[in-house]
A and B are shown apart, each in its own frame.
Chain A
Amino acid sequence: MSHLLPWLTALLCFTMVVAALVAIRGKSTPIAILAAGLVSLVASVLFLILASPDVAMTEAAIGSGLTTFLFFFVLGRVRRGDHG
């Protein structure tokens, strides 16, 4: 198991970078928000690997959960009225 961890870490890191790039350069804002949420979510897994369960829980609940919802609330208000 433990010899797999570095590979898992590398995979997680790669995922995060790709998701971050999508969030930055992607065309669609909702996807960008979701990608950012994904970065957080993957990060919380990484935190677990790095022996930080407290941080992992916080990141998952706050970083990826609440933040994403906040974004969607605002996006929802803004988009529906966006006639341009």
Chain B
Amino acid sequence: MAYLAMATGFLLILIGFYGALTNRNLLRMIVAFTIADTGVNIVIVAIGYMRGRTAPILDSTVSAAAAVQRIIDPVPQALVLTAIVIGLGVTALMLAYAYKLYEKKRTLDIARFTELKG
């Protein structure tokens, strides 16, 4: 299951990369990046998954003493939380940029913003 999830995660990353490289529309590029981000998150979570164990939350079913045998690795989950939020921050920023760029030239085609070069 973890393999499948991880493979899907990698596939999503590649699909996202491909989209970001081939779509000239700014918004579509950003969409592609969110897909790649989701892919990364899946990969990270999948790495921490351990067959037959439960979420790293202690409650009536998982006591503190038995935790070591019962729960999955909590670290990747903590990292993913951070990664998701950071991803949103960057996406929001890129969207604001896209809006600003559109405001200037009334186009979303990235190939039109090439004044700086060389």
Contacts and interface: CB of A to CB of B under 8 A. Distances in A.
Q: Please say whether the chains A and B touch (CB closer than 8 A).
A: yes
Nearest to A5: B1
Contacts, number: 141
Nearest to A8: B1
Main secondary structure of the interface of B (DSSP, over half): helix
Main secondary structure of the interface of A (DSSP, over half): helix
Interface of B: 1-2, 4-5, 7-8, 11-12, 15-16, 18-19, 22-23, 25, 27-28, 30-32, 34-35, 37-38, 41-42, 45-46, 48-49, 53-55, 57, 72, 77, 80-81, 84-85, 87-88, 91-92, 95-96, 98-99, 102, 106-108
15 contacts: A5-B1, A9-B4, A9-B5, A13-B4, A24-B22, A39-B38, A50-B45, A51-B49, A51-B53, A52-B45, A52-B55, A53-B55, A59-B41, A62-B88, A63-B34
